[in-house]
Amino acid sequence: MKVLSLVALVAALITVQSSILQAVENKGVDWRARSSVADRDRYSDSDTDEELNFGREIAARLLGQYKMSGNEKLQKYVNLVGTTLTQNCSRPELVFHFIVVDSSEINAYSTPGGYVFITTAILAKMENEAELAGVLAHEIAHVSERHIVKELSLKGAEKSAVSSIAALIGGASETVGIAFSQAVDKAVDLILRDGYKKEDEMQADGGAVMLCALSGYDPSGLVTFLDKVGKIKSDVGKTYPVYDVRLATLQRAMSDEGIAGLKLALNTERFVTAMKIPERSVNPLDLIRNVIPGGTP
């Protein structure tokens, strides 16, 4: 009887979760979009390849501006947390890389294709692993939802699109290269200066708490961290929308999704231990080679 009850409970949970995911998926669907238009938001394997190339180029630019942390164990720890989250990511075709950079900015960045950067300053403001997971999940959501790709109207493949234009007008490959480089410049500006659209940030928040919950992390980690950062927002770059609005929206979304009251892992002790790991020198060139195949040595 107990077994039957358990099976029924699991089935009910799966059904509810499926319904939630379906509802999230259907939200905001443009009913005007025709089959051909809807197809523009579908991405093929070649699109993903182009997205990877694009993201790798942006990551190389970012690494030119930030110094990678030499704390190898910290890099490993952050990568473990991040990789755990990506097991439930909606884009299994991507291999995510998590990179800690030495910076006094309280911020985290991500590029198309799955390169996630997190600063030592933001790590210093965290109190547990759930908060770290929340921030990383937020960046993973930006990647999963292709926010940069969509914002720059790359439609999955800037290089392909530009190639198509070049082919149409008989342009040379140099034209393609210039356009690609301009797109990378725009993406870097978006990440470091202009910030995402408010709705993209909200969507990333919503996706992050779901991802945390699915991965076993307490989804409130992101909430508590945003609340904390909001109080010192004068120190934060302008890539985040107004925090009180953002927090209210996130809490409402969590309530709607039925994950507001979940008490899952915080992993405070493990996080504190990881943060205390003494820094050891590491060859940053090796790390770059490891995380960016074919990237800038």
Binding residues for other proteins, rule: CB under 8 A, are 30-40, 42, 153, 155-156, 161, 164-165
CB of 29 to other proteins, least distance (A): 9
Task: Take residue 106 and report the two structure tokens written for it.
Answer: 């309280």
The CA–CA distances, whole Å, from 70 to 202, 279, 283 equal 33, 7, 7
CB of 91 to other proteins, least distance (A): 19
Instruction: Report which DSSP code applies to 67.
Output: E
Instruction: Report which DSSP code applies to 156.
Output: T
CB of 54 to other proteins, least distance (A): 15
> Long-range contacts: 161-165, Cβ < 8 Å, 24+?
none
* 41 vs 279, beta carbon nearer other proteins: 41
* 180 vs 217, beta carbon nearer other proteins: 180
Contact (CB, 8 A) for 85 and 141:
no
Between CA 190 and CA 177 the distance in angstroms is 20
CB of 15 to other proteins, least distance (A): 25
* 42 vs 276, beta carbon nearer other proteins: 42
Query: 116 forms bridges with which residues in the sheet?
Result: 98, 110
- Across the beta sheet with 115-119, the strand order is 67-68, 97-102, 115-119, 108-111
* 39 vs 286, beta carbon nearer other proteins: 39
CB of 28 to other proteins, least distance (A): 10
Contact (CB, 8 A) for 119 and 106:
yes
* 179 vs 259, beta carbon nearer other proteins: 179
